[in-house]
């Protein structure tokens, strides 16, 4: 019965202060919309960063003379022992020629004449690192190994790209936290207005011995409901918008290397997170507001 009464009082509070409720829910909706966008953006940046790291390898050419005098296993062992190396794959001269032919497509057939003894290419090792940030350091260590002729991995541009993606993702998390705090203050202001209109009622309840928890509960429920109402619009816009964008772009952004995260179950996770944030900020905002008032009235 008490729970039913609390929900009844919460709904009455929402209706009684309809204009303030709509205003706060709208403001929360705008805040959560940006939160939803940054959640989807951050997850996709993480996916793109992973795709870039997967596609970027350190290409190590072996000196032809060293290849004749020393077994290639020595270089393989030395590379494998470098801190940050995840995997090392050997690519023979013929395999390197196959890749060259494939790179040029139909025009690559002109290189077929180099097969066999006349192949001018070098045997190579393809090195993967544990993290994208390890590429530059690992490449420098490989250059110091005897028998290594050339090391290439895309240069500083690749490292800068991955660092930029990490920076954008970090900024997104900070904005999510900041916007959540803004939503807490918005809901807190709405609950304050509701409390001010029921000062006499609260005073009577305290006079007859009502505990703070009993007085507080309707306002907490009211704040949670405001948060949930405010989450409906951003959930629809963020999830439906991303599904449309994903289908329009064919699942990639600008290039095949930048693969986007599949909408499902991403949109479900995003919707759940937004509802969770809405309930949390509604709970915190209303709890802080009514607790502060009850403390003043002791």
pLDDT tens-digit profile of 76-111? 889 999 999 999 998 888 888 888 888 787 777 888
| pTM for this entry | 0.69
**Count of alpha carbons within 13 Å of 120, Cβ hemisphere only?**
5
Nearest 5 degrees, angle CA 259-CA 261-CA 263? 135
Q: Which residues are 87's β-sheet partners?
A: 128
| Terminal C-alpha separation, the chain | 27
Looking at mean pLDDT, say which of 30-39, 232-241, 247-256, 279-288 comes out highest: 232-241
Rounded Cα distance between 80 and 102, Å, is 28
Look at 286 and 233; give whichever has higher pLDDT. Answer: 233
Which range has the worst mean pLDDT, 40-54, 193-207, 278-292?
193-207
What is the rounded average pLDDT for all residues in the chain? 82
Helices (H), strands (E): how many in the chain? 10, 6
For residue 25, give every residue at least 6 positions away whose Cβ sits within 8 Å of its Cβ, in sequence order, or none: 226, 229, 230
pLDDT tens column, 197-223: 667 777 777 778 878 888 888 888 988
Rounded Cα distance between 194 and 17, Å, is 7
Give the relative orientation of helices 199-207 and 212-249 as an angle to the nearest 10 degrees: 130
The ranges of the chain annotated as CATH 3.30.70.3040 are 57-153
Average pLDDT over residues 12-27: 80
- Please give the pLDDT value at position 151: 92
- Please give the pLDDT value at position 127: 93
Look at 95 and 68; give whichever has higher pLDDT. Answer: 95
Rounded Cα distance between 51 and 259, Å, is 7
pLDDT tier for residue 70 given thresholds of 50, 70 and 90: low
Q: How many Å separate Cα 148 from the centre of its chain?
A: 38
Rounded Cα distance between 298 and 284, Å, is 21
Whether the predicted pLDDT of 52 surpasses 60: yes
Average pLDDT over residues 263-270: 92
- Please give the pLDDT value at position 68: 53
Which range has the worst mean pLDDT, 32-36, 99-103, 200-204, 264-268?
200-204
**DSSP character at residue 57:** -
- Please give the pLDDT value at position 81: 93
CATH of domain 57-153: 3.30.70.3040
pLDDT tier for residue 255 given thresholds of 50, 70 and 90: low
**Count of alpha carbons within 13 Å of 195, Cβ hemisphere only?**
25
Average pLDDT over residues 46-51: 76
pLDDT tier for residue 236 given thresholds of 50, 70 and 90: very high
């Amino acid at each position: 019965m008490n729970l039913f009464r609390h929900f009844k009082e919460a709904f009455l509070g929402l209706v009684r202060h309809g204009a303030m409720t709509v205003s706060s829910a709208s403001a929360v909706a705008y805040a959560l919309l940006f939160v939803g966008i940054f959640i989807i953006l951050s997850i996709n940046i993480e996916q793109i960063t992973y795709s870039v790291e997967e596609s970027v390898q350190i290409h190590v050419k072996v000196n032809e003379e060293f290849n004749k005098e020393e077994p290639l296993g020595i270089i393989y062992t030395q590379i494998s022992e470098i801190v940050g190396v995840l995997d090392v794959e050997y690519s023979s001269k013929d395999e390197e020629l196959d890749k060259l032919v494939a790179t040029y497509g139909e025009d690559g057939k002109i290189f077929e004449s180099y097969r066999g003894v006349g192949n001018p290419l070098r045997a190579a090792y393809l090195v993967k690192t544990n993290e994208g940030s390890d590429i530059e350091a690992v490449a420098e260590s490989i250059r110091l190994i005897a028998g290594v002729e050339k090391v290439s991995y895309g240069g500083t541009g690749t490292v800068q790209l991955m660092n930029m993606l990490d920076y954008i993702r970090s900024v997104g998390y900070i904005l999510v936290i900041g916007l959540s705090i803004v939503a807490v203050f918005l809901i807190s202001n709405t609950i304050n207005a509701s409390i001010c209109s029921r000062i006499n009622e609260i005073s009577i309840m305290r006079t007859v011995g009502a505990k703070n928890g009993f007085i507080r509960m309707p306002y907490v429920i009211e704040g949670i409901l405001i948060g949930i109402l405010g989450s409906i619009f951003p959930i629809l816009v963020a999830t439906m918008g991303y599904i449309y964008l994903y289908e329009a772009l064919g699942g990639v952004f600008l290039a095949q290397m930048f693969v986007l995260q599949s909408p499902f179950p991403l949109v479900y996770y995003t919707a759940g997170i937004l509802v969770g944030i809405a309930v949390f900020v509604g709970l915190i905002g209303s709890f802080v507001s009514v607790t502060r008032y009850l403390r003043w009235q002791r």
